Amino acid sequence: MLPSFFDSVLQLIIRTSTELPPDVRAAMKTAVRAEPAGTRSAQALNIIAENIDLASDGEGAICQDTGMPTFEVKTPVGANHMWMRQQIRGAVAEATRRGKLRPNSVDSITGENSGDNLGPGTPIVHFDQWERDDVEIKLILKGGGCENTNAQYSLPVELPHLGRADRTLDGVRKCILHAVWNAQGKGCAPGAVGVCIGGDRTSGYAHAKEQLFRTLDDVNPDLRLADVEASIMATVNDLEIGTMGFGGRVTLIGCKIGAINRLPASFFVSVAYDCWAFRRLGLVLNGATGAIDRWLYRDPSHPIIPMLDQSGFIRTGREIPLHSPLDEQAARALKVGDVVLVSGRIFTGRDAVHAHLMKHDPPVDLRGAVLYHCGPVVVKTGDTWRVTAAGPTTSIREEPYQGDIVKRYGVRAVIGKGGMGARTLAAMKDYGAVYLNAIGGAAQFYARAITRVDGVSLLEFGTPEAMWHLTVENFPAIVTMDAHGNSLHKDIEQESAAHLEAIGA
């Protein structure tokens, strides 16, 4: 067996979770420079850039959602795949124990979290063989927010704002534009897409995800596909969806397209959307020892150049301090576009907590509360809990519940990302509450705004789904839905739909 295999895989997981590959860093640096200073997108990008630096400096998870670990492994003929799979699973569990991966493996029927990222189907490990003596392992960590924005089209299809997409490369182009438009800020834009033309529904999605192992700056060897990639990248930013869907000049940082054969009756276009926290690294291991021969996508002999040459989130002096709990007057005084700095007690709550609150009284008094859509990474030392990563999760999943919870229990502010829908907006207007958009993926940045863990309720749902009682100080967010019926998300969706019609024509 390979004595260093386990340690090498563990290093791969830790690096992938904490360090963005150079091509993604370069693309994000270009994005930072593209947005005019002082705009919402520029402020969001500064927080993202600071977060990227904090994560690699402190070996903390870039985003609290460390995603579905997906390994692509190539081995010499005759290698023992069963043993390797066991080692990889062991390394995943160890990385989880060290707080580098969030426990993300949940029983699909009971909702129970296995606590170590192991379970039926998780992690995903694909093996292949090659005529070489060494072993290649590539890893991608793709989170739930962006995974939920994946899309699959069966052509020909009629697309809103774009008309008919035929079984042609132009039809493919329209599908990609539609998928990016539809994602808005919910997948933590700016993102990148891996696309597959063809296959069946299953192989199409798998091949689309494989495209995300290409570097953002490569050129497709198939010139027909290279043309479509270039055409998408030349036009897609005219959608002006911008970072986190705040509006802005950069919406997509990469488009990678592959094609596989299909049945004559089927023509699928599958789009795998990845967020800016595009975590992908790889290793080549010595075939006899399992020790690292070299890294893929990164060169450890080159020092990491910081994303920022100045401090990240720059205050303008116009930020509004908010102290939780809030009263109605404070909530109604806020308007879309205001930047707030939240201090005081906040409570986390995501899918399991929202479902619970529809049937049970809350475990804490939520009158005037700030509810944070967040599944943090928390580690326990002795009796003390510490949050090591705590960015927002995608709020739209709570749309069926949120309006009722705001009104029933008196919540005055919801922090999340990607915005919410008409029901929540109406409830906020009725009751006097606001939606505060935090910057998706900025897990290290926000973890530092949490000064104390005061307690936890509903821990039986697992650490990401529990309700954490946190004290925060100057936690920045942008009001994107206010108590006057205004929604930045609705506005950007409508404006970008007009751009989509122009680009797609």
Please state, in angstroms and rounded to a whole number, the distance separating the CA atoms of residues 331 and 322. Answer: 9
Asked if 441 is part of the footprint of ligand SF4 (rule: CB under 6 A), the reply reads: yes
188 lies in the site for ligand SF4, by CB under 6 A:
yes
Q: Does 192 bind ligand SF4 (CB under 6 A)?
A: no
CB 51 within 8 A of CB 311: no
* Closest CB 75 distance from ligand SF4, rounded Å: 29
Residue 380 bridge partners (DSSP): 385
**Contact flag: residue 65 with ligand SF4 (CB under 6 A):** yes
Q: Is 60 in the site for ligand SF4 (CB under 6 A)?
A: no
Binding mask 253-292 for ligand SF4 (x = CB under 6 A): ----------------------x-x---------------
Smallest separation, CB 440 to ligand SF4 (Å): 4
Q: In this complex, which beta carbon is closest to ligand SF4, that of residue 63 or of residue 271?
A: 63
Angle at 135 between CA 134 and CA 137, to 5 degrees: 150
Q: Residues 17-56: x/- map of binding to ligand SF4 (CB under 6 A)? A: ----------------------------------------
- Asked if 67 touches ligand SF4 (CB under 6 A), the answer is yes
Q: In terms of CB distance, is 60 or 432 closer to ligand SF4?
A: 60
When CB distances to ligand SF4 are compared, the closest residue is: 143
Minimum CB separation from ligand SF4 for residue 209, in Å? 14
Give me 326's structure tokens.
């809030």
Nearer to ligand SF4, 146 or 503 (CB): 146
432 binds ligand SF4 (CB under 6 A): no
Nearer to ligand SF4, 146 or 466 (CB): 146
Q: How far is the CB of 437 from ligand SF4 (least distance, A)?
A: 12
Residue with smaller CB distance to ligand SF4, 243 or 402: 243
Q: Does 492 bind ligand SF4 (CB under 6 A)?
A: no
- What is the Cα–Cα distance from 345 to 454, expressed in whole angstroms? 9
Alpha-helical (H) ranges within 144-222 are: 144-147, 169-183, 201-210
Place of tokens 């870039």: 62
Please tell me whether residue 143 binds ligand SF4 under the rule CB under 6 A.
yes
Based on DSSP, count helices (H) and strands (E) in the chain, helices before strands.
Answer: 14, 20
Note whether 103 binds ligand SF4 by CB under 6 A: no
- Stretch touching ligand SF4 by CB under 6 A, among 63-71, 108-116, 397-405, 420-428: 63-71
Least Å distance, CB 134 to ligand SF4, is 31
Residue 375 found at the interface with ligand SF4 (CB under 6 A): no
Q: Which whole-number Å values give the CA distances from 487 to 224, 312, 333, 405, 423, in the listed order?
A: 40, 26, 15, 19, 12
Q: Does 245 bind ligand SF4 (CB under 6 A)?
A: no
What are the two backbone dihedrals, phi and then psi, of residue 186, each rounded to the nearest 5 degrees?
-70, -25
Task: Please identify which residue in 145, 376, 462, 476 interacts with ligand SF4, judged by CB under 6 A.
Answer: 145
Crossing angle for the helix pair 22-34 and 40-58, to the nearest 10 degrees: 150
Q: Which of 60, 103, 187, 204 forms a contact with ligand SF4 (CB under 6 A)?
A: 187
3-state secondary structure of 179: helix
Residues constituting the chain: 505
CA distance 470 to 14: 26
CA angle 292, 207, 167 (to 5 degrees): 155
How many residues bind ligand SF4 (CB under 6 A)? The answer is 15
**Rounded distance between C-alpha atoms, residue 283 and residue 287, angstroms:** 12
DSSP 340-397: EEEEEEEEE--HHHHHHHTTS--SS--TT-EEE----EEEEETTEEEEEE-PPPBGGG
- Given candidates 55, 139, 146, 387, which one binds ligand SF4 under the rule CB under 6 A? 146
Q: CA 145, CA 374: separation in Å to the nearest integer?
A: 12
63 is an interface residue for ligand SF4 by CB under 6 A = yes
Which residues does residue 415 pair with via DSSP β-bridges, in sequence order?
372, 436
CA pair distance 327, 306, nearest whole angstrom: 41
- Least distance (Å) from ligand SF4 to the CB of residue 148? 8
Which residues, numbered 331-350, are part of the site for ligand SF4 (CB under 6 A)?
A: none
Tokens of 46: 């500064």
- In terms of CB distance, is 43 or 87 closer to ligand SF4? 43
Please, what is the Cα angle at 206 between 202 and 210, to 5 degrees? 165
Q: What whole-number distance in Å separates Cα of residue 412 and Cα of residue 332?
A: 9
Binding residues for ligand SF4, per CB under 6 A? 63, 65, 67, 143-146, 187-188, 275, 277, 391, 393, 440-441
